Chain A
Amino acid sequence: MKDEIQTPADRSANLKGMGCSRKRVEDVRFTQGKGNYVDDIKLDGMLVGDFVRSPYAHARVTAIETEAALKVPGVLAVLTAKDLEPLGLHWMPTLAGDKQMVLADGKVLFQGQEVAFVVATDRYAAADGVAAVEVEYEELPVVTDPFRALDPDAPVLREDLAGQTEGAHGPRRHHNHIFTWEVGDKEATEKVLDEADVVAEEMVYYHRTHPMPLETCGCVASMDKVTGKLTLWGTFQAPHAVRTVASLISGIAEHNIRVISPDIGGGFGNKVGVYPGYICSIVASIVTGKPVKWVESRMDNLMSTAFARDYWMNGRIAATKEGKITGLWCHTTADHGGFDACADPTKFPAGFMNICTGSYDIPVAYLAVDGVYTNKAPGGVAYRCSFRVTEAAYFIERMVEVLAIKLGMDAAELRRINFIREDQFPYQSALGWEYDSGNYHAAWDKALTAVGYDALRQEQAQRIADFKAGKTRKLLGIGLTHFTEIVGAGPVKNCDILGLGMFDSCEIRIHPTGSAIARLGTISQGQGHATTFAQIIASEIGIPADDITLEEGDTDTAPYGLGTYGSRSTPVAGAATAMAARKIRAKAQMIAAYLLEVHDGDVEFDVDRFVVKGAPERFKTMKEIAFASYNQAIPGLEPGLEAVSYYDPPNMTYPFGAYICVMEIDVDTGEHKVRKFYALDDCGTRINPMIIEGQVHGGATEGYAIAMGQEIVYDDMGNHKTATLMDFFVPTSWETPHYTTDHTVTPSPHHPIGAKGVGESPNVGSVPCFSNAVHDAFRPFGLVQSHMPHDQWRIWKIADDLGLHG
């Protein structure tokens, strides 16, 4: 055989396994326009649904007149809450234990809320129908400020909750209050703050924004009245969870529901939630007996489905005069909009905000989060982050900078003296997490050296002198961030959504000729799972990645899993993949030993085969073993070579990184230019460096957008001011910085292959990095804290407030 003369290194390269930059298998169809996204689905007789939406942020709905709409050619039905009520579907449960109106039930709570669902033969007729529905509203006083919402005389938003003093996460103390979540030792923290040498205090606001995947949310519901089976295609980041939720709220038996996530055009958290469009499409399909498609417009998307952030984080940080941090206190006011539709694990109403001690060894800490209703859209999803980790990272990375100012210290040095040391891992944080592994000092030093930190500071000093001398109007900011992520939700003992434990799964079947198919409970939205998970299997069992088909997203075929978000695919499903592969390898070892007529323990795995120890010329390749497994390989042994693994991770994983940004700022116009952005990521074992680098570029670009201009804005009347891409900032290739990527490798000790996940790190890390660069530019002139986004007028305002415009 030809491969007998190949070296193990050659054979290993043939596998295209872990560690190589394998080209993506997805791209052959995507580059030709042959992807299959939800709006590409076309079924016989398919109808289209579209929403009548509220123009008001808070109003009573006194009448809905549908007669004219029903006369519009092509319009077949108009659903209102009255039609859904008999089915018990006019409200639906949210992932956060609250409930949300599917269609306006007597009132509306945000502009753009779904009021009626028009079903028509095509999208043109549906739009005409929407225009013909007449709704009478009676305006109510609007609250858009979460602090004002808690005033005793604030308007009552959720009349349906009147008298309910107990919410899904404990007591409610006000009619617009959702929950209070407390973690840590309040008393001990306040004592430290009282007695500290130095305390820095600041309100850090992380503004409301939106994940805005390029493809909006949508679905096609098809109820087959003959078989009684509902098929639901949609942009779902968690198809199995959607199936279970759909079954629970519709009463359709779960085996009669098939949920399929086709190709998804980006998710970033936007596609985790369950939206009224899904429910209405299902109902409309049942009512009409036809498939019904609903796809959001961009305005619908920005106005109604799943915003992110909107956290007011009031912090206090204590330190010795030498700069050793001694305690951290945080009170957050969380604006959840009209319904609490956050997508967090059940026991974590503010997600993993309690990772807010960051990369630092802080002995004592306390965190409290108050969730509040306002007249804004619901959501609060993790926009490319693991459940509020971005908010936490932004908070601590700003607080450290504020403390550095108070201490008069260099912010890089302040971080260095407070990092958790390598020998402290596994590290128990004051707010309850066990960090698995890290080497922060090594990453930090590598980053500072790579950018020439000392030289940059000298250049900055010269720039300040030149600015003061009137020789330039541009300032130089050096943004620093060292972030620690917490991803891979998660251990079932503390992570579930609606009672579904957050394990994940992989099933592998080896075909007789030695190729394979693997199916997972996750779903790619661009991360390249079909490429990378095959690489894990290739390395684990020695079948070339090119010979492995990878499928996700069809609940009739894939094993149950909780889906893809929170950087959980590699930490959880990736682990399941390795574990399933290892089951196969164990069986293959038995077969190989039998065929080689030695004991099981006398053969060892060697890249793509089992060899007899000490006699490498005696071997059985995986191809041979696969074929043998379909015959009577070992008398009495079950035929076939398949395995499934449901993996419940013992812990979360804790990727980290050191990011540095160098930014030029025009004091007079507020314009900026990113001169350099350096991103060092440590995501543990690296499966595909090309894909990791691509994830970093993309995540950092989202972070750039958020930090420098992207926001969801409402005026005092609750009017949404940023519903198109004219005003909702998504940078083009022209504005987007160039990135330099780098890495260190600190494997996770508890993950089967040591991988930690990377997709969200760059969003988590880059937002504070860009923001810190802006702050750093103005630090010499007295700036301590200024809210994001740092768009042109806000940067100009900083300069103006500091008297820099003369």
Chain B
Amino acid sequence: MSKMHVKFTLNGQDVEGLAEPRTLLIHFLRETLNVTGPHIGCETSHCGACTVDMDGKSVKSCTVFVGQADGRQITTVEGLTNADGSLGVIQEMFREHHGLQCGFCTPGMITRAHRLLQENPNPTEEEVRFGIAGNLCRCTGYQNIVKAILASAEQLNAMKEAAE
């Protein structure tokens, strides 16, 4: 099968490469571009470990062909770290509130939380639980993840206010 040329923006940088059309975005990211933050947990679009942000939407990159991503803007967890290398707010709140254990679901979870808070900067606990229901975690029982996301919302709002 001949390869196709693929080009998109990844964490603010233009990237391109050749891939078979059947290549799944998660494999292209991890194996061709060496961006290994997004993980593979189920392959049937249930677990959300492979979640990336594509044109402002959280998507499961195990269920996207690389051609479908051509021309898009993609952000992975790697893109949520501050420019100076320090942890972004959500990353920091996950650490602060023990919102992770083995770390395997964490990149997808944080990427999803990022989009959730962009869309709903003041979520209730229930809205957070509903909003991250596409991401499975086997370690934390979600309680501290929810806490971390609520704390992130508070922190991000305070920063926004301070900037205004």
Contacts and interface: CB of A to CB of B under 8 A. Distances in A.
Q: Do chains A and B make direct contact within the complex (CB under 8 angstroms)?
A: yes
Interface residues of A, number: 57
A39 B34 CA distance: 11
Contacts of A265: 39, 41, 102-104
Contacts of A213: 102, 104, 138
A128 B105 CA distance: 29
Nearest to A704: B141
B47 interface: yes
B124 interface: no
Contact of B103 (A263, A698, A702, A738): A263
B41 A298 contact: yes
B119 interface: no
Contact of A698 (B42, B44, B78, B138): B138
Interface in A291-309: 295, 297-299
Interface string B136-155: 11111111111000000000
B141 A739 contact: yes
A725 B95 contact: no
Interface stretch (A100-108, A430-438, A652-660, A689-697): A689-697
Contacts of B122: none
Nearest to B20: A124
Contacts of A700: 141
A84 to B, nearest CB: 28
Contacts of B129: 733-734
Nearest to A41: B36
Main secondary structure of the interface of B (DSSP, over half): loop
Contacts of A123: 27
A732 interface: yes
A35 B37 CA distance: 8
A572 to B, nearest CB: 21
Contacts of B103: 26-27, 29-31, 35, 263, 265, 526
Contacts, number: 177
Interface residues of B, number: 59
A215 B104 CA distance: 7
Given A215-B41, A525-B102, A730-B136, A698 B46 contact: no
A153 interface: no
Contacts of B133: 732-734
B63 to A, nearest CB: 13
Interface string A10-26: 00000000000001101
A33 B38 contact: yes
Contact of B42 (A697, A725, A738): A725
Interface string B96-129: 1010111111110010000000000000000011
B59 interface: no
B81 interface: yes
Contacts of A690: 98
A648 B104 CA distance: 33
Main secondary structure of the interface of A (DSSP, over half): loop
Given A298-B44, A700-B141, A734-B130, A37 B101 contact: no
Interface in B76-95: 76-78, 80-81, 87, 91-92, 94-95
Interface in A33-48: 33-35, 37, 39-40, 42
Interface string A87-119: 000000000000000000000000000000000
Contacts of A621: none
A31 B47 CA distance: 18
Contacts of A263: 102-103
Residue of A23, A698, A738 contacting most chain B CB atoms (<10 Å)? A698
Interface in B21-38: 22-23, 27, 30-31, 34-38
B91 A32 contact: yes
B41 to A, nearest CB: 5
A786 interface: no
A40 B87 CA distance: 21
Nearest to A734: B133
A234 to B, nearest CB: 15
A5 interface: no
Contacts of B30: 39-40
A53 to B, nearest CB: 15
Contact of A124 (B23, B36, B102, B136): B23
B74 interface: no
Contacts of A26: 103
Nearest to B144: A694
A266 B139 contact: yes
A699 B140 CA distance: 8
B43 interface: yes
Nearest to A736: B142
Nearest to B41: A214
Contact of A214 (B77, B102, B110): B102
Contacts of B136: 214, 725, 730, 732
B105 A214 contact: yes
Contact of A27 (B22, B49, B94): B94
Contacts of A701: 140-142
A455 interface: no
A140 B42 CA distance: 31
B102 A31 contact: no
Nearest to B48: A732
B10 interface: no
A527 interface: yes
B71 to A, nearest CB: 23
A549 to B, nearest CB: 18
A264 interface: yes
Contacts of A33: 35-38, 76-78, 106-107
Contacts of A368: none
B132 A698 contact: no
Contacts of A215: 39, 41, 102, 104
Contacts of B140: 694, 697-698, 701
A694 B95 CA distance: 12
A593 interface: no
B44 A724 contact: yes
Contacts of A27: 94-95, 100, 103
A694 B140 CA distance: 6
Residue of A23, A265, A295, A734 contacting most chain B CB atoms (<10 Å)? A265
A526 B40 contact: no
A690 B128 CA distance: 22
A647 interface: no
Contacts of A612: none
Contacts of B141: 697-701, 736, 739
Interface in A654-699: 690-691, 693-694, 697-699
A34 B37 contact: yes
A733 B132 contact: yes
B94 A726 contact: no
Contact of B100 (A31, A34, A37, A42): A31
B58 to A, nearest CB: 14
Contact of A266 (B42, B91, B104): B104
Residue of B41, B105, B143 contacting most chain A CB atoms (<10 Å)? B143
A528 interface: yes
A56 interface: no
A681 B142 CA distance: 19
28 contacts: A23-B95, A23-B98, A27-B94, A27-B100, A28-B87, A31-B94, A31-B103, A31-B110, A32-B77, A32-B81, A39-B40, A122-B31, A214-B41, A216-B41, A263-B103, A268-B138, A295-B40, A299-B43, A690-B98, A694-B144, A698-B101, A698-B141, A701-B140, A732-B142, A733-B128, A733-B130, A733-B145, A736-B143
Given A26-B103, A33-B107, A268-B138, 16 more contacts: A23-B96, A27-B103, A32-B78, A33-B35, A124-B20, A213-B102, A214-B49, A215-B41, A299-B43, A526-B104, A527-B101, A697-B143, A724-B44, A730-B47, A732-B133, A732-B134
Closest 5 CB pairs of A and B: A33-B37, A526-B102, A265-B104, A30-B103, A697-B141
Interface of A: 23-24, 26-35, 37, 39-40, 42, 122-124, 212-216, 263-266, 268, 295, 297-299, 525-528, 690-691, 693-694, 697-702, 724-726, 730, 732-734, 736, 738-739
